Amino acid sequence: MKILVINGPNLNMLGLREPKIYGNETYADLCRFVEDSAAELGVEIELFQSNHEGALVDRIQEAYGVFDGIVINPAAYTHTSVAILDALKAVAIPAVEVHLSNIYEREEFRHVSYPALVCVKSIYGKHFEGYREAMEFLKENYSPRA
């Protein structure tokens, strides 16, 4: 199984950004965790991060016909981006939305998730472990048949 792992804006600032919410681990730490988890699960991954909405949309579109699943942390675009929602709908690749924090325990404006309207699962508040859970879910439920 081949999974695209997409991270949105400000995730590259992990370790500096609001450590009481996101912890002290860096984006490099997250990448290592995801890579190690993928190896343990026996799935192939590609990591992508951008602070730009259009770049995230482009990468989702480029995934069509290449990836079997998407794990996406749209970050702040979760609450604003119809474009990311539409890109996920267009490619129709099973996608799992992941958030390090529990968006439903934060500010009210964060309670809206556009990607959740099309994602097959949403995982909130499990920090890095949410990425492993997302990949495992995709592997168990959407692996291509040999």
Pick from 123, 118, 44: which is nearest to 82 by CA? 118
* Contact present, 22 and 101 (Cβ < 8 Å): yes
Helix, coil or strand: residue 27: helix
Choosing from 77, 99, 114, 131, which is the catalytic residue? Answer: 99
- Pair of tokens at residue 55: 């770049």
Give catalytic status of residue 22 as yes or no: yes
Choosing from 22, 27, 77, 114, which is the catalytic residue? Answer: 22
Query: Any idea which residues carry the catalytic annotation?
Result: 22, 99
